[in-house]
Amino acid sequence: MAEEEKKFSKEIIGKMVVSKTGKRFGEVGDVVFETNSGELIHLVLQNSTPNAKKLDLEKTKEGEMLVPFSAVIAIEDFLVVSEEDIV
């Protein structure tokens, strides 16, 4: 991975999560990763929108919605996710 493609978790915390079609789902509150490999597993949503609440997302014990990191297709000003890959 090229140096300019690397992102630190602190760079994505607080960014808006949107679908390819522009639906807003909320902001990144935290990330969940596999401790052995470092693989990112989920984004934890905060300030979830009604669009996110319509999806059948996995939730934490505290009820926070989890977006699979595998659904992320772009990270810039927003995190763009493929809605088809969320569910």
Task: Read off the pTM.
Answer: 0.84
What H or E segment, with its residue span, contains residue 52?
helix 50-54
Average pLDDT over residues 54-80: 92
Distance of alpha carbon 39 from alpha carbon 33, whole angstroms: 5
What letter represents residue 35's amino acid?
A: T
**Mean pLDDT, all residues of the chain:** 88
Position 8 pLDDT exceeds 60: yes
Residue with more model confidence, 38 or 15: 15
Q: How confident is the model at residue 67 (pLDDT cuts 50, 70, 90)?
A: very high
Average pLDDT over residues 58-69: 92
Where do the domains of the chain lie, and which CATH numbers do they carry? Answer: 9-86 (2.30.30.240)
Helices H / strands E in the chain, number of each:
3, 7
Distance of alpha carbon 18 from alpha carbon 44, whole angstroms: 14
Query: In angstroms, what CA-CA distances link 8 with 50, 57, 78?
Result: 28, 24, 14
